[in-house]
Amino acid sequence: MSKENTVKAKKSLLAAILVAGLMTVSSVTFGPAYAQTQEGQAVGAAIERVATKLAGRIGFAAQEIGGDDVIAFNGDEAFVMASTYKVAIAAAVLDRVGRGELSLDQMVDVTPDMMMIGDAALSDTFVHPGVQLSVANLIEIMITESDNTATDISMGLAGGPAAVTEYLRRLGITDFRVDRTTGEIIGEFYGLPGPATMKVAAEAFVTRPELLTIMGDRNLDFEADPRDQATPLAMLQLLLAIDNGTATSAESRDFLIDVMSRTRTGAGRLKGLLPKGTPVANKTGTIGGVANDVGYITLPDGRRFAIAVFTKSSETSETDRDRAIAEVARSLFDYFHVGQMTKQ
């Protein structure tokens, strides 16, 4: 192990996990449908004790691909998904591709009135009419750049929020709601008169410049709204369904996970404390006091695990919120990797 990785390992929660393994855990609630070992319960509790100091309230769920052991804390509690719900939108679009209703090379018009604020690769780059993107490229920048314009166009290609939710129900995923476009979500967060298009937002920020200062502030009323929320276990279900080919075709699965491996946002979250070069395919989400990250992490021996980490109600800095997610990811990395080594 390199010196850098040794330092990161020391900074992780491995010591806390080992200590917690000797403790009786009574404060952790897990979904009854998910297998839990006593060791796994201790790991979850140890992570939670440290991570919640860095981010208001935290929930997470993880499972090795092909394994049975689920590690979760607050796994059945609903959290605002923010942009992590874009994984579900991408999967729903790819389901239509697999059924022959769309194709990845199909070109789609992107008009100026479609441009949304937020993470905005499209609206920042293309200021003139005349833009077309393929379905594949819309998914690409929706995931890798978290572009909200591409997301809302993709939502339309999926059939709208209700169609995405219905798709999830067909997969047997219940604690997962998709209710609004990103434009509608952001518009309601800021109290705008409509979806957060570039035009609407520009006018609002001129008349109400204070809106620019609340971008990272927690909004408890917004978090209390049950729309566009999911539990960590439900997000884990979706990730596993994508990986095992239940949610999409094998070809679409490979396409989506490959896209997720190119995500450019949230370098300090799932990836933040992992050994250098660890393969990660993920999707982040951020709004107000919410910071999330979900995806797949590959272990040194080639095994992988799916992971969903949600936070909410945070009043800490963005750096601390990122660190909380990084602590969860590194601790579970150590659990799945080192734990397997001790069984050999």
List of E strands, 168-303: 229-230, 280-287, 290-298
For range 267-280, the mean pLDDT:
97
Selection from 241, 285, 306 nearest residue 95 by Cα: 241
Strand partners, 109: 132
Strand partners, 297: 280, 305
Q: Which residue has the tokens 């035009």?
A: 199
From residue 186, alpha-carbon distances to 182, 211, 297 in Å are: 6, 12, 29
For range 300-313, the mean pLDDT:
96
Give the rounded percent of residues in the chain with a pLDDT score beyond 70: 85
Q: Please, are residues 29 and 48 in contact by the beta-carbon 8 Å criterion?
A: no
pLDDT at position 103 is 98
How many beta carbons lie within 10 A of that of residue 169, not counting itself? Answer: 11
Q: Which helix (H) or strand (E) holds 57?
A: strand 57-64
Q: How confident is the model at residue 146 (pLDDT cuts 50, 70, 90)?
A: very high
Q: Please, are residues 232 and 60 in contact by the beta-carbon 8 Å criterion?
A: yes
Q: How confident is the model at residue 236 (pLDDT cuts 50, 70, 90)?
A: very high
Average pLDDT, the chain: 86
d(CA 267, CA 225): 28
Q: How far apart are the first and last CA of the chain?
A: 20
Specify the length of the chain in residues: 344
Contacts of 80 (CB under 8 A, 6+ apart): 222, 223, 228, 229, 287, 288, 290, 292, 310, 312
| Amino acid of residue 161 | P
Lowest mean pLDDT among 98-107, 232-241, 290-299, 315-324: 315-324
pLDDT at position 50 is 75
Ordered by where they begin, the domains of the chain are 3-83+224-343 (3.40.710.10), 85-93+102-214 (3.40.710.10)
| Amino acid of residue 340 | Q
Q: Please, are residues 42 and 288 in contact by the beta-carbon 8 Å criterion?
A: no
Contacts of 1 (CB under 8 A, 6+ apart): 9, 275
d(CA 129, CA 167): 33
Dig out the tokens for 131 from the structure: 């833009």
pLDDT at position 125 is 85
Instruction: Give DSSP secondary structure letters for 81-123.
Output: -GGGGHHHHHHHHHHHHHTTS--TT-EEEE-GGG-BSSS-HHH
- 111-131 pLDDT, tens digit per residue, is 999 999 887 678 888 888 889
Sign of CA dihedral 21, 23, 28, 30: positive
d(CA 205, CA 183): 15
d(CA 142, CA 87): 9
Q: How confident is the model at residue 215 (pLDDT cuts 50, 70, 90)?
A: confident
List of E strands, 214-314: 229-230, 280-287, 290-298, 304-312
pLDDT at position 320 is 93
Sign of CA dihedral 29, 32, 33, 34: positive
